[in-house]
Structure 1
Amino acid sequence: MDFTGQGRFTAYKIDRPLTDQEKADRLDRKRKLNTQVRDELSAIKINSTYMELVDRWYAPKGWSVIFALMLAGPCLMMVVLFSPTILLENRAYADPLAWVAVLIAWGGGWFGLWAAWYGFRLEAFRQTHYPIRLNRKTRKVHAYRPDGSILEADWDKLYFCVGESVIPAYGKTYDVRAHVMGKDRKTVVDTFTLAYSYMGKKESVPAIWEYIRRYMEEPDGVEQNWRYSDICMPVDGRREGVWFGIVRTFSMAAAWPISQLIFSPVMSVITVGRWIAMYTSKVPKWPAEIEGQYVIEPDDPYRRDWRNNVKFNFQEGVWPVICFVVGLSVVIWGLSELIPALMSAVSD
């Protein structure tokens, strides 16, 4: 789970000078990179006026919901089992150590429930995604932020670099970071992630950066991206569907169908978390004053969105569903065996 930039504890650092690393890893919008181009399943729509992309938190959506629910279960048991009323009922209220133990466990349970709710709310009851628009004609960039506000910036004035984040128990992740600079061109006054590959692999950054850069800078950038991106994310004015939620979650191992089956119990549970996040959240809508800047010509030959997606083959569209059913069945069977055993142990 990479929640860099989302929430109060992982917010981007602003009102600061550029770091030496950001200066060394600057991405030049005018320089074409000799690299394989990849969109990392980030495009929502493409046309001659603008390109719309998903945010950095879209691909792994569902992880935080599931971890929150997994944390909430034992914490709720701690709150119930170690309630101070138990001391009163068992006449152990005269023992100071008993009070200390119960209050520590009870307080820890409540803290865990708060942490679970915080993690749950990172994805649920928010926006289904936080779109980013790049206007090729006006050279403007608009980006939805988790707090509901919208950032507006000039493409030609943004400072692009390889952004680095650290996730506990995972390590470093990398993205295409965009900085809004102050009038002195030295101070970072705002920041957002322009592009992100799943799990933040550093070697993927040049490929997705070149995909975006060529759209905004190359004379035939629109045509190139239109021809390349044959799968657009189905979230344009709508929620992601149940079927695509399965496909998107399992796509992290799309090249390894056997791995999809082996890890299907984990991935099926994450899919359920993704559904919860999607169907409790609102579909983002651009304000009229911003939408008016993104008029598409009616005869634009380079219009593409999810309605133009290529048809998935068996491995891409059917196999993930089979793996999901198998994985969820294994999870349900495991829980049906585990829960009665735990209840019996508690009662004893």
Structure 2
Amino acid sequence: MDFTGLNRFTAYKLNRPLTEDERKGQLDPKQSVSDEPLNWMSVININNTYLELVDRWYAIKGFAFWMGAMFAVPFTGIVVAIVVWAIEKNDLENWIGSSVFSVLLLLFVWVGVWLIRHDAFRQTHYPIRLNRKTRQVFAYRPDGTIIQENWDKLFICAITTGSSQMASTEDIRAHVLAEDGETVKDTFTLGYPYLGGREGLLQLWEYIRRYMEEPDGVAKNYNLTEICPPIDGRREGLAFGLVATFAPAAKWPFKGQLLFSWMLTITTLGRWFAMYTCKVPRWPEEVEAACQVDPDDPYQKDWRDNGKYDFWELGWPLICFVVGLVVIGVGIAWLVQAMF
């Protein structure tokens, strides 16, 4: 799990000078970096006026929910059981002991709730909108406020989070700099190729860069965009929640999707719950007014243009989902039998 920028402990560091790694990783919008641009299923909308992208946390939504539930649910049950036991015994010694033990267990409950809150009871996603015509970029923050900056003034760089190859993630970071050109005033992640590594980062950056910089960038990206998350003014449906959760392992249908079906299944369940407890973000009227799309724009595309999912996009993940439910059910039954 990579919660960079989502909570107080991983918040982007502001009012600081650019680091040496950021300078070395700077991405030049005028320079092509990949011959194979890809959008990594990040595009909500594309048209001649603006490109709208998902945030860095959208791809992993649901994972924090089930991880948190693993702490919150059982430990809450244990606390309730202890309280019932203490009431039945009803003596001072048992009350003191159960109270101390319950406080310690409530710390685990708090950790679980804290993890759940990364996914649930927030926004379904935090969109980023790049206006090709006005050169303005708008980005939702997790607290619901919005960053606005001129595209040509952003300092954009490739960032690696984490110290090991297995634990590290790559994202495209955009900094709003002070007038001195050195101090970071604000930050947001412009693109996040989940499990894509450095190659995926460059592919996604090339897709974004081409849209904003090249005369035929809109047409090229329009033709390249196949699936748009169905979250423009709405929550994603159950089917797409399944597609989105299993999609990162699509290259490994057996070693990834089937073998780890139990984990992907429980993440899908967490994603469904999280999405339906969250609010759908709405751009302010002034942003919508600045991003009017020509009704006759030939390069408009969103979720309505997705078409039908094929077997490997939805059919196989659905089979893996059912297998995952069976594995989880057998595991729970074994655990209950072992306990009682």
The correspondence of residues 87-102 of structure 1 with structure 2, limited to 5 A, is: 89=89, 93=93
Q: Tell me the secondary structure at the aligned position of residue 255 of structure 1.
A: coil
| 2:93 maps to 1:119 | no
For 2:24 and 2:16, locate their aligned partners in 1 and report how far apart those are by CA, in whole Å: 17
Instruction: Give the letter for the 2:338 counterpart.
Output: A
Question: 2:312 — aligned with what?
Answer: 315
Aligned counterpart, 1:40: 40
RMSD of the TM alignment (CA)? Answer: 2.3
247, 263, 268: which one pairs with 2:265? Answer: 268
1:108 Cα deviation (Å)? 2.1
- Work out which of the residue numbers 103, 106, 110 in structure 2 matches 1:110: 106
Post-superposition offset of 1:62: 0.2
How far has the Cα of 1:77 moved from its partner?
Answer: 4.1
CA shift, 1:139, in A, is: 0.2
The offset of 1:86, in angstroms, is: 3.3
Judge conservation of contact 1:175–1:200 (CA < 8 Å) in 2: no
Between stretches 302-311 and 138-147, larger displacement belongs to 302-311
Determine the C-alpha separation between the residues in 1 that align with 2:25 and 2:101: 47
CA contact (8 A) 2:160 2:170 kept: yes
- 1:130 alignment counterpart: 126
**Secondary structure of the residue that 2:93 maps to in structure 1?**
coil
Q: Name which of structure 1's ranges 164-173 and 123-132 shifts more when overlaid on structure 2.
A: 164-173
Query: Which secondary structure state, in structure 2, belongs to the residue aligned with residue 292 of structure 1?
Result: helix
Contact 1:84 1:103 in 2 (8 A): no
Give 1:332's aligned amino acid.
Answer: G
Alignment-derived partner of residue 31 in structure 1: 31
Looking at structure 2, the residues matched to 307 and 341 of structure 1 have their Cα atoms a distance apart, in angstroms, of 49
Where does structure 1 lack aligned partners over 5 or more consecutive residues?
A: none
Residue matched to 1:210: 206
Letter in 1 for 2:329: I
Using the alignment, how far apart are the partners of 1:307 and 1:317 within structure 2? 17
Deviation at 1:188, TM superposition (A): 0.1
2:231 matches 1:235: yes
| Structure 2 CA distance for aligned equivalents of residues 289 and 167 of structure 1 | 41
Q: How many residue pairs get matched?
A: 339
Residue pairs, 1:141-160, within 5 angstroms: 141-160=137-156
Does 2:325 correspond to 1:328? yes
Residue deviations 1:216-270 (CA, integer Å, cap 9, x gap): 0011110110010111111111111101111111112212222322211111111
Counterpart of 1:22 in structure 2 is 22
Aligned residue in 2 for 1:7:
7
1:201 to 190, 193, 197: 197
CA contact (8 A) 1:175 1:196 kept: yes
Gaps of 5+ in 2: none
Structure-2 separation of matches of 1:182 and 1:39: 30
Structure 2 Cα separation of the partners of residues 140 and 60 of structure 1: 27
3-state DSSP class of the match of 2:168?
A: strand
Q: Is the 8 A contact 2:49 2:291 kept in 1?
A: yes
Residues 1:64 and 2:64 are matched in the alignment: yes
* SS of corresponding position for 1:12: coil
**1:294 equivalent among 279, 287, 291:** 291
1:165 to 161, 164, 169: 161
Task: Decide whether the 8 Å contact of 2:211 with 2:218 is kept in 1.
Answer: yes
The SS at the match of 2:264 is: helix
Aligned residue number for residue 179 of structure 1: 175
Find runs of 4+ consecutive structure 1 residues off by over 4 angstroms.
81-85, 101-104, 167-170
What's the offset of the Cα at 1:298? 1.2
